[in-house]
Amino acid sequence: MKIVFATNNPHKLDEIRKITEDKIEILSLADINCFEEIPETGTTLEENALMKAQFIKDKFGFDCFADDTGLEVDALDGAPGVYSSRYAGESCNPQDNMEKMLRELHGEENRKARFRTVIALLLKDEQHFFEGEIGGEIICEKRGTAGFGYDPIFLPDGYDKTFAELGNDEKNRISHRAIATQKLVDFLLRN
Ligand code: ITT
C-alpha cells in the first residue's frame, strides 16, 4: 500500500516511516512533486490536519493523510495548542518557541502539559481521524539533542529523560504521534 503524508516537516516523515516500516509505503510531498506552501489556518488540530490532507487530495488526487500537533500547557490554559509552531511569532524557530515557553512558565509550579496529535486521513473519498496524546511536564531548561520542536523541554510522565534525551527509538514507542500513527496503520491494514 502507498499513501502520501502531507507534511513539510522531515522529522515527522522520518518518525512515521520508522513506525510504519515495511507495512505501508509513505510518499513524501517531494515524491509527488509538491513544493507548495500548504495552508494551515484552522483553529483546531482537526481542522488543520484535514485542511492539509484536503489540499493534497484536491490538487494531486492522491489518498493521503496529514498530522497536526500541539503542545497544550495547563498553566497557559492549553496554549500554545494549535498555534504551537508560531508561538513566538510568525517566522520563529523551535529555539525561540522553547525560550518563550520557559520565560512564560518562569516561577510557575504547575508545569503539566501534553502533546496531542490528530491525523486526518482521506481514503477513497472518506474522512477518518486518529488521535494520540501523551502527558508530561515542561522542565525548567532544555535537555538533549534528539527529536525536534519542543522535545528538549518535554519530560513524558513516568520518565526522567526528555523526549530529546530519550532518542528517536524510545520516543517513537511512546509518543503522541506513535499512538495516533498506530491507530492509522491498524485502520489502513484493515481497509
Ligand atoms: P507540517 O504542518 O508541515 O506537518 P509542522 O512542523 O508545521 O509540520 P505542526 O503544525 O503539527 O507541524 O507542529 C506544531 C509545532 O509543534 C511545531 O513547532 C513543531 O515543531 C511542534 N511539534 C510537533 N510535533 C512535535 C513533536 O513530536 N515533538 C516536539 N515538538 C513537536
For 69-82, the DSSP string reads EEEEEGGGTT-EET
| Alpha carbons 119 and 49: distance in angstroms, whole number | 6
Residue with cell 481521524: 129
Nearest-CA neighbor of 157 among 101, 115, 185? 115
Q: What is the pLDDT of residues 59-91, one digit of tens each?
A: 999 999 999 999 999 999 999 999 999 999 999
Closest residue by CA, ligand 1 atom 18: 85
Nearest-CA neighbor of 171 among 3, 28, 12, 5? 12
- Choosing from 150, 155, 170 the residue with most ligand 1 atoms within 8 A of its CB, the one to mutate for a pocket test is 150
How far, in Å, is the centroid of ligand 1 from the Cα of 189? 26
Mean pLDDT of 104-117: 98
CB distance 69 to ligand 1 below 6 Å:
yes
Amino acid at 79: A
Provide the pLDDT for residue 21. 82
- Decide: pTM greater than 0.85: yes
| Alpha carbons 170 and 33: distance in angstroms, whole number | 32
Closest residue by CA, ligand 1 atom 23: 69
Q: At 20, is the pLDDT very low, low, confident or very high (cuts 50, 70, 90)? A: confident
Provide the pLDDT for residue 80. 98
